[in-house]
Structure 1
Amino acid sequence: MTQTVLITGASTGFGRSAAQMFAAQGWNVIATMRTLSAGADLAALENLLVVRLDVQDPVSIDSAIAAGIERFGQIDVLVNNAGFGLFGVFEGTSPEKIREQFDVNVFGVMDVTRAILPHFRARQAGVIVNVSSGAGVFGLPMISAYSASKFALEGFSESLSYELAALGIVVKIVEPGGVVSTGFGARSAAEAAGLTTPVDYGQFVDAALKVFEGLRGERLATSQEVAQVIFDAASDGTDRLRYVATQDIEPLVKARRETSEADYMALMRSKFATRPIKKASVGER
């Protein structure tokens, strides 16, 4: 039987490329997005259904899942891809924006997952692929809210994987880094334009931006390459949990996971020129 995948955030970036890749591999695809007009060309692909789904709208989540099952009979794989990133210092980011960051990147994933689990449980089968980020492995300045949301997603995904294993349901995490032509950077830049940064951060922000410019000079993957990793994770038949999707983040992932805490922190502080902590003298204690 032809397998079926439901992908959130399929209008651009990884989601769009993943929808095209699964379709090219002969899968049935439920490509979901907030604005249906963005998927007009996808709808022309064979065995591909474009459905509205806003991860902040529970009614649209239930409707999209029901429409997919009605069209294709069942859903075998869920790819939680929808997300966005806030860029800027924490103090300059409003509480409302931080809540939106978690509403989309964390609670949205939870709500879509919760909605599809009864279908997976009934079948005693299913794969859930959650698209995380290198920022869910290591923290970086200027993206504290985004990083926090992806750290939360990583913890949720790992914990959930243990709960669902006994039911025949597998959870996967895909961790991409810098990628060209996804639309993600444009959304982040637009969000950053609305933030207010206290002047005291000026020197640090200037230095951090130079580091990020250098990182962008590293080899950047394409959304199609990340889509290939998403497809592999969904279809490899293993219980492997994590997949690093782009080469640019491999050194930092290795440093975070395979070196001592002291060595890792020294590396990161050297990159971002963190001011050393002043040690108090005996009289100041």
Structure 2
Amino acid sequence: MQWDGISEFVYVAENESFTQAAIKMAISTAQVSRQISALEKRLNVKLFYRTTRKVSLTEEGRVFYQHCRGVLDGLEAGERAITNLQSKPQGKVKLSAPVTYGEQQILPLVNNFMQQYSDVEVTAFLSNQQVDLVEGGYDLAIRLGKLSDSSMMAKKLGKRTNFVCASPAYLSKHGIPHSLSELNSHSCLLGTLDYWRFRGSGKEKNIRVTGKLRYNSGFGLVDAALKGLGIVQLPDYYVQDHLQSGELITLLDNYREPDEGIWAIYPQNRHLSPKIRLLVDYLAEQLA
């Protein structure tokens, strides 16, 4: 009896909606409402502020939620531990990743992972827009660079390096820039931003660059650089092979910004299930 309504309360608190809580619990909205009302009556306290547009926790509700979430996490962890002892990882995994990095790096590794764990089902959504993990029902997302969402837990999977480079043909014709100010006299191949990132004198520097070409495609920019149309700044996974072959040459290495992190993020109120933890650990091992 004392557990009645606890799960419904936590789902409503996390989704800020009786309807969404009902959908995720696969029960009716009316049942959720009845359980919450009975819980409030039993506790003799109001847990939610309700309006036609929003449901939010009262101060008492926030305190109660912290305790309930911890209790449910413990129960879920116990169930997962027993399941993990009795069977191999299985079930659905939903993840998100940036388009190009996902295609080149993440999805091939996921495919390798699924060869080892055939009972795991994976749905991947590639987008350069940051998805809402909770609203979208994602188990984890791959993020590049600096993290801005402090409400998520994060595990570092690896790192990436941004290179400034150009073809030997372009440099032979236009010369090699040795300082950031010299970029003003060169044709810069632009992406979605009007500036490139560097580091000098111990500080980060954003240098505005100009050019005749602008693409929102890293592959298009690489092709333009290979054909001698200008200088480009791109992450290593676009240019590494061309740098090794000599088709592109790195520039301004003394001003290169520090390596950026590659992260797996997931909601902080969730313990990782065995299948998610295995996948995250596998990605970290392969990308390190």
Task: Give the TM-score range, shorter chain.
Answer: under 0.3
Whose helix proportion is higher, 1 or 2? 1
TM-score (norm 2): 0.27
Q: Which of the two has higher C-alpha Rg?
A: 2
Q: Which has the higher contact order (CA 8 A, sep 6+)?
A: 2
TM-score (norm 1): 0.27
